[in-house]
Amino acid sequence: MRVILNPKHAEHAPPGEVEGGAVIPSYEAPGRFDAIRSALEAAGGFTFEEPPKPSEESVAAVHHAAYITYLREASTEAKKARDPAAKQLWPTVFPFGPNPQATGPRALRGQFCFDTYTPILPGTFAAALGGANAATRAADLVAEGNARSVYVLTRPPGHHAEADRCGGYCYFNNAAVAAERLSKRGAVAVLDVDVHHGNGTQHIFYSRADVFTVSIHGDPATLYPFFSGFAAETGTDAGAGFNLNLPLPSGTGAKEYRLALAAALEAIRKVKPAFLVLSFGADTHESDPIGGFKLPTKFFAEMGASVRELNFPTVIIQEGGYNLTTLGACVTELLKAFSAE
Ligand code: SP5
Ligand code: ZN
């Protein structure tokens, strides 16, 4: 299987995140990428390549111009800063009403973000763009029939990023970039199996019928992102009926997950898409430090086989997964099953 790498991922390395008023090491760290790459190399059967030179075109197809510009300029500002504190831009205050006068740096930092987990650092723009470019390359290979399925190895992840806001460690929505690209050639389904609701992908395609978004995730009543991912969110306008959320309780294991996955796959079959984008998070694993689900490593092989059975040309995008000792095995199990003859 061809693996498209984000060559710039390490330029974004958050120094920590805030947990109950204390700063703890960031879960979303460069070591995630290395753990996956090493596991795939050890398993064999994977070839690694980088995307062609950076372009913002495919990002502009899903994100607002003002947001892209903000992220670029804020990253540059962090790069130029001499004061160490000014090299990390953390949002603290979020809009509580529209105010055209609120254009200062602290206001903008909150305006283009929805949580406090998502800092802008000197390399954030480059790293986010590298991921989007890798997703673009993968989508083009699949759209043109040059590959049946392609895996995008990237971080930071993307599925929480909305059209004009970052959040949940995500800046550019790589899955949405790929889906948008593929949608020029035919209908697309996005299946999001990260343990967290893919609010960004839902948001970007919420009023469209040509991209069917499906997410299986921890119940937002108790799991991040808390404000979306409920079953009643089904799409709007032309997109009514083209968003499916399958929330599951904390502690969900293979038995219950299997049923939700079958329901998701059945719904996707009915829509008859030409292409599939799989937003793959391994944070459903039983050992994940922030997920709360109980899937064993071997279930990822089953997941890969089930999704593969749909038999659609597929772009697989790496989202979350935070246990560095099991992450590589989860991805390998999924991809091996997916690429088996
Ligand atoms: C892409 C992705 O998986 N984003 C996840 C964003 C989750 N952010 C919230 C993390 C909260 C961690 N605190 C949990 C403490 C459990 N001991
Ligand atoms: Zn996640």
Which residues on neighbouring strands pair with residue 216, listed in sequence order?
Answer: 246
Q: Tell me which amino acid residue 174 is.
A: N
Distance CA 121, CA 62 (A): 22
Distance CA 168, CA 159 (A): 8
Distance CA 54, CA 120 (A): 19
List, by residue number, the catalytic residues: 160
Residue nearest to atom 13 of ligand 1 (CA): 290
Which atom from ligand 1 is nearest to the alpha carbon of 322?
3
Residue nearest to atom 2 of ligand 1 (CA): 320
How close is the Cα of 272 to the center of ligand 2, in Å? 27
Contacts of residue 139, Cβ cutoff 8 Å, sequence gap at least 6: 177, 178, 179, 181, 182, 277, 315
Q: How far apart are the first and last CA of the chain?
A: 11
Residues with CB under 6 A from ligand 1: 19, 117, 157, 159-160, 168-170, 194, 196, 224, 281, 283, 290, 319-320
Distance CA 281, CA 330 (A): 9
Distance CA 217, CA 222 (A): 11
* Residue 30 CB coordination number (10 Å): 17
- 316: DSSP letter: E
Per-residue pLDDT 10s for the chain (341 aa) are 999 999 999 999 999 998 888 999 999 999 999 999 999 999 999 999 999 989 999 999 999 999 999 999 999 999 999 999 999 999 999 999 889 999 999 999 999 999 999 999 999 999 999 999 999 999 999 999 999 999 999 999 999 999 999 999 999 999 999 999 999 999 999 999 999 999 999 999 999 999 999 999 999 999 999 999 999 999 999 999 999 999 999 999 999 999 999 999 999 999 999 999 999 999 999 999 999 999 999 999 999 999 999 999 999 999 999 999 999 999 999 999 988 76
Q: Which pTM does this prediction carry?
A: 0.98
